[in-house]
């Protein structure tokens, strides 16, 4: 029986020769991830089980990043629980302030996830690692506890949508524009509990940063996971960052998909998701004069070095508009340092940007960039639900780093050509 890429990985990890959509399986895990919000509950449930050790102390990663650096006493207590658990159980991959990063940028950078892996994380954007050819998906805290204890978890094998990307992107068109366009096309539940499997010649034109962005937002279409084929760029990234063994899986040529979507990326425009859904997408050029109060560039979606290079290039020699707060969050310490070495941070600071330590803070309305009533923000993050970044009467417009940087300069939603 022919299988998709995701189905082949799940078959391999469940000991089955073949799996099919809808089948319930138990699969062994290569990595279990938790953060400062989700891990404390998982730890509580883990301790209820009554066992004395985790399944593998090198296959668990704990990354306090959402309310870190600690924003208040409650968040400090949450991190304390995680820190003490990591010490008690000898968790090798614990990353806090000073070594930290936003979890979904940090794990690939550290080489902790790779092609052919099965990865679960108590965070919905765990699907990011599909960019490396892994099956990775978000789960709840209780499932995280079970994963830490047993090293395996049950799954329903997902059906799949084949997304064919063709052509070459123009200008600053990026992975963010592609995934926003796709979500706008199929809706926030258009791929509910399905695998978004990407293919096509356009993939060769996409950087790894683009692919991480696209896989990251698969969940915003309701997908169980998003996944890319492993090519030379993938292998180059893996070999640079990881010493873990990897395995390349390819979809069968006659694999069955529930549907096929073709996107000609050469025809895409800069795309913005307007309030209050990631699917409420429009060409940025069609929005008119929408004045803004804040710009956020960063997050697990768009805080990588390629994103910062684009933002700095557009901002360099210009000034952030009066009345606009522009905040940049490099996704990891390594990215932050590289941005300093390349002069990106200097260019942004000279433009009037505030550059912060890695944190998820503003993305989820946690800290370091909360919106007040009536304020509008252009953000490179992944969600723009009501109240997502602050007050319920604020508005969030999702966009690429290029559009975000251009908008910071003009004080309204803009495309890069408007500020050249």
pLDDT at residue 100 tops 90:
no
The Cα–Cα gap between 99 and 332 comes to 8
**Alpha helices, DSSP H, located in 89-140:** 103-109
Percent of all residues in the chain with a pLDDT value above 90, rounded to a whole number: 95
> Crossing angle, helix 208-216 and helix 232-241, to 10 degrees?
90
**Residues 294 and 327 sit within 8 Å (Cβ to Cβ):** yes
Q: Judge if 5-263 and 272-419 fold alike in CATH terms.
A: yes
pLDDT at residue 51 tops 90:
no
Range 25-54 average pLDDT = 95
The Cα–Cα gap between 339 and 308 comes to 7
Q: How confident is the model over 315-372, as pLDDT tens digits?
A: 999 999 999 999 999 999 999 999 999 999 999 999 999 999 999 998 999 999 999 9
- Per DSSP, which regions of 150-258 are E strands? 152-156, 159-166, 194-199, 225-227
pLDDT at residue 241 tops 90:
yes
Range 8-35 average pLDDT = 97
The pLDDT of residue 97:
84
pLDDT band at 137 (very low <50, low <70, confident <90, very high): very high
> How do the domains of the chain map onto residue ranges?
5-263, 272-419
Cα angle for residues 308, 311, 312 (degrees, 5° grid)? 85
pLDDT at residue 256 tops 80:
yes
The pLDDT of residue 12:
97
Backbone angles phi, psi at 193, to 5 degrees: 50, 45
Domain topology for 5-263: Aconitase; domain 3 (3.30.499)
pLDDT at residue 420 tops 70:
no
pLDDT at residue 380 tops 70:
yes
Q: How confident is the model over 190-216, as pLDDT tens digits?
A: 999 999 999 999 999 999 999 999 999
Q: How confident is the model over 144-156, as pLDDT tens digits?
A: 999 999 999 999 9
> 45: alpha, beta or left, given left = phi > 0 and alpha = psi -120 to 50?
alpha
Range 155-183 average pLDDT = 97
- C-alpha distances in Å from residue 203, one per residue of 87, 229, 234: 41, 9, 11
How is 271-307 classified by DSSP, letter by letter?
A: EEE-TT-TT-EEEGGGS---B-SEEEEEHHHH-SHHH
The Cα–Cα gap between 274 and 257 comes to 30
Q: How confident is the model over 24-37, as pLDDT tens digits?
A: 999 999 999 999 99
The pLDDT of residue 419:
64
Range 77-88 average pLDDT = 96
The Cα–Cα gap between 70 and 170 comes to 41
291-329 burial string, b = 16+ CB within 10 Å, else e? ebbbbbbbbbbbbbbbbbbbbbbbbeebebbeebbbbbb
The Cα–Cα gap between 150 and 159 comes to 26
The pLDDT of residue 1:
83
The Cα–Cα gap between 39 and 78 comes to 9
Range 255-260 average pLDDT = 96
User: Looking at the DSSP assignment, which residues form a beta bridge with residue 94?
Assistant: 62
- Among 42-46, 49-53, 77-81, name the one with the lowest average pLDDT: 49-53
For the structural domain made of 272-419, what CATH number should be given? 3.30.499.10
Chain mean pLDDT for the chain: 96
């Amino acid at each position: 029986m022919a299988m998709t890429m995701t189905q082949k990985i799940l078959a391999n990890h469940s000991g089955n020769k073949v799996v099919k959509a809808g089948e319930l399986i138990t699969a062994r895990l290569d990595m279990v991830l938790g953060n400062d919000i989700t891990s404390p509950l998982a730890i509580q449930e883990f301790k209820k089980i009554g066992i004395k050790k985790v399944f593998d102390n090198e296959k668990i990663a704990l990354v306090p990043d959402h309310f870190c650096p600690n924003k208040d006493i409650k968040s400090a207590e949450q991190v304390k629980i995680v820190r003490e658990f990591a010490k008690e159980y000898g968790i090798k991959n614990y990353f806090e302030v000073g070594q930290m990063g936003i979890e979904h940028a940090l794990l690939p950078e550290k080489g902790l996830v790779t092609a052919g892996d099965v990865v679960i994380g108590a965070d919905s954007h765990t699907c990011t690692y599909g960019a490396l050819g892994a099956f990775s998906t978000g789960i709840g805290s209780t499932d995280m506890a079970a994963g830490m204890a047993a090293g395996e978890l049950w799954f329903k094998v997902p059906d799949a949508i084949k997304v064919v990307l063709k052509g070459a992107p123009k200008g600053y068109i990026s992975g963010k524009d592609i995934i926003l366009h796709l979500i706008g096309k199929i809706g926030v539940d258009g791929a509910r509990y399905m695998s978004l499997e990407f293919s096509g010649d356009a993939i060769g034109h996409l950087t790894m940063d683009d692919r991480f962005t696209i896989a990251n937002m698969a969940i915003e279409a309701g997908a169980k996971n998003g996944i890319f084929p492993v090519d030379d760029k993938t292998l180059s990234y893996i070999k640079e960052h990881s010493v873990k063994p990897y395995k390349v899986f390819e979809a069968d040529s006659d694999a069955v998909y529930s549907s096929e979507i073709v996107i000609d990326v050469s025809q895409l425009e800069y795309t913005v998701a307007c309030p209050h859904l990631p699917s409420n997408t429009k060409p940025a050029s069609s929005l008119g004069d929408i004045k803004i109060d804040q710009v956020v560039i960063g997050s697990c979606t768009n805080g990588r070095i390629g994103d910062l290079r684009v933002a700095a290039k557009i901002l360099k020699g210009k000034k952030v508009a009066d009345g606009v707060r522009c905040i940049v969050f490099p996704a990891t310490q390594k990215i932050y340092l590289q941005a300093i070495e390349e002069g990106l941070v200097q260019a942004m600071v000279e433009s009037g940007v505030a550059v912060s330590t890695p944190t998820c803070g503003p993305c989820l309305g946690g800290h370091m960039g909360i919106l007040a009533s009536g304020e509008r923000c252009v953000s490179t993050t992944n969600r723009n639900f009501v109240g997502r970044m602050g007050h319920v009467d604020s508005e969030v417009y999702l966009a690429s780093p290029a559009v975000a940087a251009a908008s910071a300069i003009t004080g309204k939603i803009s495309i890069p050509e408007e500020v050249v």
